[in-house]
Amino acid sequence: MNTQLPATSCGNSPANFVNIVDTACVPYSSLQIGLFAAGCVLWGLAYLLLLRNSLRNRFVEMPLVAACSNIAWEFVWAWLFAVDLGSVFTWAIRGWFLLDLVIFALVLRHGRKQLRDPRGRRSVAVQLATTAVVFAVLYATFVGQGLDTPAGAISAYIAQLFISVLYYTLALRPDMPARLFSLTFAWLRTAGSGVMTVFMLLHYPDNHFLIGMAVLSAALDVGYLVLFTRKKNAESRSGQLATRALPNPQPVG
């Protein structure tokens, strides 16, 4: 059951479809609600693409620790706490969680393929499941002690930074073929986080820690897009050159 704050004097209630004020009675403008909704949709599309690619490639491109952190955050905000923007956004997060649950099952099955050292591959599923539980406890404690915003923004950007940073250490590794990673997924997650960052700038302009994390995450995502596009183009050119270098078969007889 969700841990929900009671309705406030200005009308914010977790039972409302959409709240036009937060729990501190600060208004959510139509633009802010639209940005948050757009971010939810973009991340939902990103998850669907990630799921399709994971099933097709039998490889999950989400870095392992980021995957553990991600599903832990979604579990906490889908089932233990409720964002203060209204029930439609709580159900959006639950939708993310259900999609990510399938993705995480694939991470447990194929996650060993991300590891360089074969010694850790046998127990990788146990390690990842344990890590996800630890993250869930940490996020739940963080939120329960009142350290987060009512929209879950600070814990969300802690989780987001794991994704933004760890993609550099995985997808840009020389031994990781670019074909295993989706440029479309990178654009979707960058766009989803980007519109959420604009939402944070508009609604939490005085929360400098949150704004700092949001801007840093956006900068890292844009930098990754640039570097990964270069890697993908370089591998494509190398493949074309290798194909051209093959000798033409001579007809027999």
Average pLDDT on 75-88 reads 96
Per-residue burial over 142-173, b = 16 or more CB atoms within 10 Å of its CB, e = otherwise? bbeeeebbbbbbbbbbbbbbbbbbbbeebbee
pTM (predicted TM-score): 0.90
The answer, yes or no, to whether residue 203 has pLDDT greater than 80, is yes
DSSP 171: H
Tell me how far apart the alpha carbons of residues 30 and 222 are, in angstroms, rounded to a whole number: 27
Query: If residue 212 lies in a helix (H) or strand (E), which one and from where to where?
Result: helix 208-245
Tokens for 54? 């994971």
Tens digit of each residue's pLDDT (9 = 90 or more) over 25-65: 999 999 999 999 999 999 999 999 999 999 999 999 999 99
The total of other beta-carbon atoms located within 10 Å of residue 24's CB is: 11
DSSP-based three-state secondary structure for 125: helix
Tens digit of each residue's pLDDT (9 = 90 or more) over 232-245: 999 998 876 665 55
**How buried is residue 102: exposed, middle or buried, by Cβ count under 10 Å (0-12/13-18/19+)?**
middle
Sequence-distant (6+) residues with CB within 8 A of 186 are 167, 221, 224, 225, 228
